[in-house]
Chains A and B, each alone.
Chain A
Amino acid sequence: MRFLYAQDSQDARSDSTLAALPAPADSVQATTEVPTQEQTPFERVFLKDDKFMVVIGVVFIVWIGILAFLFRTDRKIAALEAALDERDALNDV
């Protein structure tokens, strides 16, 4: 009995603690139906399926960034190779 009582009171305490905390601003947005303007088509795409499209967008941006880096490195290598070709051509003369 004592065990049950102790647990009950602990639950009550933690509940009241939670209730006393101010809710974070973003949780209000996430959990309530705030009447807003109609979504633009862009918003409709990105907000559907629990904002899954945003994740795809982020992964896509990361991938494109890495690709851009790969291409830039290639251009530097090509410039280095061209400089070496030029040097070797001069040495052969």
Chain B
Amino acid sequence: MTDSMTIAPVNVRRYRQVRNIVAVWLTAVVLGAFMLDIPKMVMLEHTARNMYFHVPMWFAMLAAAGIGGYHAARYLKTGALVHDLRSREAARLGVLFGALGLATGILWARFTWYEAAGIWWNFDPKQTMAAVGLLIYGAYFVLRSSLEDPEKRARLSAVYHLFAAVTLPFLLYVIPRQFAVSLHPGAEGNPAFSEITYWKMRLVLYPAFIGFIALLWVLYTQRVRIALAYYRLHGETDDEN
């Protein structure tokens, strides 16, 4: 097993540059999210500001699926174990951001859509499909942990990860829009998001999308660095732990 791990290190300089920009950028987003005024909307009130944080979680998860799917495909083409490792770390970050997106959505919905009903969950199509997506990603880790041989684990995981990554846009965007009843924007009877978004909110929202996707990349790259260092130290991946 010649070492794709040591010949493909992380570009630490670029990592630091992106990280520093992200730190300043997201600080500005956080401040702007609270300090700029927003129109008072029925039911939403100040929770409209949740859009700055909740929606980017899903964009970050999709970006993670993109990175993970790309490296899964690269593994299948090249057989270099470093792509398996990168694919795995992308999946981890994807699950993190997906879980945060789901949790923030549940809390937000409880005090807006379900304020009168007093419930936490009502099978909103988009919310449900997001949960299904997380389960599909969860199975990726079950699959990994069930395979002992590193090459076999990498190959089967890569195939499964490609499948998981491809389903995600359908689960988050295509399927929920086929339902007339979803409370999320873009479903039938609801205005699409661009029509209800006040111009000052876009000043925060679009930078938030960019910022959180960049934050995802920073956290992903940080974990890749740790995993590569582990490999250099022990001569095997940290999959067993």
Contact = CB atoms under 8 A, between A and B. Distances in A.
Interface of A: 52, 55-56, 59-60, 63-64, 67, 70-71, 73-74, 77-78, 80-81, 84, 88
Contacts of B219: 70
B233 A84 contact: yes
Contact of A67 (B23, B34, B35, B229): B23
Interface stretch (B25-33, B57-65, B132-140, B189-197): B25-33
Given A59-B34, A63-B26, A73 B222 contact: yes
Contacts of A88: 232
A70 to B, nearest CB: 7
B153 interface: no
A80 B229 CA distance: 7
A-B pairs, 3 with minimum CB distance: A56-B34, A84-B232, A80-B229
Contacts of A81: 12, 225, 229
Given A63-B27, A84-B232, A84-B233, A78 B12 contact: yes
B74 interface: no
B54 interface: no
Contacts of B155: none
Contact of B35 (A56, A73, A78): A56
Chain B: interface size category:
10 to 19
B225 A77 contact: yes
Contacts of B12: 78, 81
Contacts of B31: 56, 60
A81 B224 CA distance: 12
B203 to A, nearest CB: 16
A64 B30 CA distance: 11
B222 A74 contact: yes
B19 to A, nearest CB: 7
B226 interface: yes
Nearest to B35: A56
Given A73-B222, A77-B225, 5 more contacts: A56-B31, A56-B34, A60-B30, A81-B229, A84-B229
11 contacts: A56-B31, A56-B35, A59-B30, A60-B27, A63-B26, A64-B27, A67-B27, A70-B222, A71-B23, A77-B225, A77-B229
Contact of A74 (B19, B229, B233): B19
B217 to A, nearest CB: 13
B229 A63 contact: no
Give the interface centre of B19, B27, B31, B34 by most chain A CB atoms within 10 Å.
B34
Given A63-B27, A67-B23, A52 B222 contact: no
B22 to A, nearest CB: 9
A70 B19 contact: yes
A17 to B, nearest CB: 27
